[in-house]
Amino acid sequence: MIRITLFLLLLTSAVFAGDPQYPVSAIPEHLLKNANVVLRLQEETVKLNDLKDMRITHHIVLTILNESGEKYSGWGDIYSKDREIRDVRGALYDAAGNLVRKLKQSEIKDVSAVSENNLMDDNRLKMHDFYYKVYPYTIEYEVEYRYRTTLFFRPWFPQPGKNFSVEQSRIAITVPTAYQLRYRQFNYPGQPAQTTDKDTKTYTWEIRDRKAFEGEVFSGPLRDRTVAVYFSPSDFIYGDYTGKMNTWDDYGKFQLQLNAGRDQLPDKVKAEVHTLADGWKDPKEKAKVLYEYMQKHTRYISIQLGIGGWQPFDATYVATKGYGDCKALCNYMFSLLKEAGIRSHYTLVKAGKGETDLIEDFTVDQFNHIILCVPTGKDTTWLECTSQTEPFGYLGSFTSGRTVLLVDEQGGKLVRTPVYAMDQNRQVRHFAATINENGDLSGNAETTYTGLQQDWYHGMINNTTPEKQLDKLKENLNLPSYNINKFHYTAHPQARPVPEMDELLDITVPNYASISGKRMFIVPNVLNRSTLRLTEDSTRVSDIYLGTATKDVDTLQITIPNGYTPESVFPEVKQESRFGKYTASVKVEGNKLTYVRCFERKAGVFPARDFPALEEFYNAVYKWDRSRIIFVKAQ
């Protein structure tokens, strides 16, 4: 520990000096390749004095090479009563390493961290930026923190993203000798260096000379491509609560402590529960009635006050106020069900479309949302309690198909939320259109979206004004010029096994068909052309993650002007691969053409070596979706 302290003292004496620092010319050429940012130096020291006192010093030097690296050009961090920012220093250097200016304390912005969805939040945000645009340039920050909780250890990601290279990065964590520091390494060679002192032990990780990598489409978690180390406490304190994090069961037990005694309902609400639910014999029907009651009488507002960021407000608070965050609303729904004699389980989830990744073999907090699990006989129902419009038992892309931590009466265990299969995520469209002599197209499309394919439309009609709905629809349609004359949506939230949405569109597209002399050129796929084109990637590293299985069926009938006959009609297409299936056919009878397209996209994880086959399949779909028919007009 003495060596580390001496090193930091020497380092600090050099930091912010007047002599040239970190000239860009000193960066090795191979670290500039594919890079927008170079991490020149990163030193992070963490010292755990006891379970209520953790000190962190973070020192970072970054060279911003171009405009694409600007997202790394400043500093910002959240603080609260449990997480204090004690000191911030910074400096800006030009390409030659000359000091341009130092950070002034008056330049640090200190603002509330409350978002528009937060009613109450005691977090605040400090941030700073030099707003320098003469590339390349270098920034340096040193920040000191004090944590009064030991529930959170920040992971070490020397390379936080693509096009980011590393000269040197180092993290040292010092803990009492008797304390068990838990960690999980990814792509780190060997084990951390360990040193011991009289009463402490220190773990040190360090990397040097790490080249930038480029982005890869359909890639998995960042830790698959670079060095990462996650840290998690064995024992911790948060507020007045103590806990352990050695297993998922431990984590669940901690959450049980936070929730204990918060399920008491007012007498009036208890009476309403029995009035609504007692007449039903089926527990699932009881749960449905109470879920709809909860939706009608509450609304979502985020509340993040101290430990309230983890602990739900009690059921009486929600019943009285009529609002709550995800924790409070799930606890309230839990309480309603409990009053009706129905078991349910508070469940922690990493929410967000595509956020299906979770480290399962290492217990560390990775969650940002709460849902409710209701086991009813052989069936299990999952409830999203923050929405006034989601149908009973449907999770959608926000929380479906991922590993979650279910908290039962004993503790915690990992389970999976439902995966919606291809046949549940459908788009079925019938489109009748007419093209006039000028090539203008007008028509009516009737489409049914189901499952995950209806999520976007559900969100649009429930969260957007009619005026903005039109703008969103125009953005969503892949046509260069068109008018939406009318649109209408009909929701079927209780359709089984997943909700459905019907769409009616009345559109016109000026000059849709190209006319050249006596010929008319028509692309029969009007509304559903693939926009995905992949480029060859012979150096692919990441496995291929295809997250959602869907099926589209389009049937279009287009009437063309009299007097035209087909000169060239593309042949029927049938293509099947490990990634999906595509068929398309066209038939012309008189002045009517009928186009039928079916596209099935499979989900799954595929090895990187399969990328050329994926590229071939999707690029072929892109091409087939733009196949033309040529008509010629009789003389």
Is 491 part of a structural domain of the chain? yes
Domain boundary among 233, 261, 291: 233
Is 241 part of a structural domain of the chain? no
Q: Say what the pLDDT of residue 536 is.
A: 84
481 — pLDDT class (breaks 50, 70, 90): confident
Tracing tokens 């409830």 back to the chain, one arrives at: 383
Q: Say what the pLDDT of residue 477 is.
A: 78
Sheet containing strand 53-64, edge to edge, reads 99-102, 83-93, 137-147, 53-64, 37-50, 164-176, 200-210, 193-196
| Same domain (yes/no): 147, 292 | no
Give the Cα separation of 188 and 231 in Å (integer). Answer: 14
Q: Say what the pLDDT of residue 308 is.
A: 58
8 — pLDDT class (breaks 50, 70, 90): very low
Is 239 part of a structural domain of the chain? no
> Number of structural domains, the chain?
3
| Same domain (yes/no): 406, 426 | no
479 — pLDDT class (breaks 50, 70, 90): low
Which has the closest alpha carbon to 298: 285, 286, 315? 315
Which has the closest alpha carbon to 344: 396, 294, 271? 294
Give the Cα separation of 613 and 348 in Å (integer). Answer: 37
Q: Does position 306 have pLDDT exceeding 70, yes or no?
A: no
Q: Say what the pLDDT of residue 305 is.
A: 59
Q: Does position 7 have pLDDT exceeding 70, yes or no?
A: no
Q: Say what the pLDDT of residue 11 is.
A: 42
Cα-based distances in Å from 495 to 124, 314, 424, 550, 634: 44, 33, 11, 18, 50
Which has the closest alpha carbon to 371: 348, 400, 387, 394? 348
Q: Say what the pLDDT of residue 476 is.
A: 81
Give the CA count within 13 Å in the CB-facing half-sphere of 20: 10
Q: Say what the pLDDT of residue 14 is.
A: 46
Q: Does position 562 have pLDDT exceeding 80, yes or no?
A: yes
Q: Does position 290 have pLDDT exceeding 50, yes or no?
A: yes
Give the Cα separation of 627 and 507 in Å (integer). Answer: 22
Q: What are phi and psi of 555, to 5 degrees?
A: -125, 120
- What does the DSSP assignment read for 465-520? -HHHHHHHHHHHS--SS-EEEEEEEEEETT-SSS-EEEEEEEEEETT-SEEETTEE
| Same domain (yes/no): 435, 558 | yes
Cα-based distances in Å from 24 to 62, 119, 349, 455, 506: 10, 46, 43, 48, 58
| Same domain (yes/no): 47, 160 | yes
Give the Cα separation of 633 and 606 in Å (integer). Answer: 49
Give the Cα separation of 559 and 582 in Å (integer). Answer: 25
Q: Does position 117 have pLDDT exceeding 80, yes or no?
A: no
Domain boundary among 383, 416, 449: 416
Is 33 part of a structural domain of the chain? yes
| Same domain (yes/no): 201, 307 | no
| Same domain (yes/no): 436, 556 | yes
Mean pLDDT across the stretch 354-380?
93
Which has the closest alpha carbon to 110: 139, 91, 88, 95? 88
Domain boundary among 189, 205, 233: 233
Q: Does position 352 have pLDDT exceeding 50, yes or no?
A: yes
Is 238 part of a structural domain of the chain? no
Task: Report the CATH number that the domain containing residue 88 is assigned in CATH.
Answer: 2.60.40.3140
| Same domain (yes/no): 534, 402 | no
Return the amino acid letter for 278: D
Dihedral sign, Cα of residue 324, residue 327, residue 333, residue 338: negative
Is 588 part of a structural domain of the chain? yes
Mean pLDDT across the stretch 522-550?
93
Whole-model pTM? 0.91
Is 183 part of a structural domain of the chain? yes
Q: Say what the pLDDT of residue 120 is.
A: 54
| Same domain (yes/no): 8, 108 | yes
Q: Which two tokens stand for residue 517?
A: 């002399």
Percent of the chain with pLDDT over 70: 94
Q: Does position 552 have pLDDT exceeding 60, yes or no?
A: yes
Mean pLDDT of the chain: 93
Q: Say what the pLDDT of residue 116 is.
A: 52
pLDDT by residue (tens digit) across 253-281?
Answer: 999 999 999 999 999 999 999 999 999 99
Question: How many CB atoms are located within 10 Å of the residue 66 CB?
Answer: 12
Q: Say what the pLDDT of residue 123 is.
A: 78
| Same domain (yes/no): 341, 431 | no
pLDDT by residue (tens digit) across 18-73?
Answer: 688 999 999 999 999 999 999 999 999 999 999 999 999 999 999 999 999 999 99
Q: Say what the pLDDT of residue 4 is.
A: 38
299 — pLDDT class (breaks 50, 70, 90): very high
Phi-psi region for residue 487, left (φ > 0), alpha (ψ -120 to 50) or beta?
beta
Q: Say what the pLDDT of residue 318 is.
A: 96
Give the Cα separation of 410 and 396 in Å (integer). Answer: 29
CB 227 within 8 A of CB 192: no
Percent of the chain with pLDDT over 90: 85
Mean pLDDT across the stretch 84-112?
95
Q: Give the residue, 462 or 15, on which the prediction is more confident.
A: 462
Tracing tokens 């007047």 back to the chain, one arrives at: 18
Is 77 part of a structural domain of the chain? yes
Mean pLDDT across the stretch 592-602?
98
Its domain, for residue 295, covers 247-416
| Same domain (yes/no): 490, 363 | no
Q: Give the residue, 538 or 363, on which the prediction is more confident.
A: 363
Q: Say what the pLDDT of residue 10 is.
A: 39
Which has the closest alpha carbon to 617: 592, 600, 632? 600
Q: Say what the pLDDT of residue 121 is.
A: 57
Q: Which two tokens stand for residue 193?
A: 């260096």
| Same domain (yes/no): 228, 117 | yes
Q: What are phi and psi of 129, to 5 degrees?
A: -150, 140
Q: What are phi and psi of 163, to 5 degrees?
A: 55, 40
CB 583 within 8 A of CB 624: no
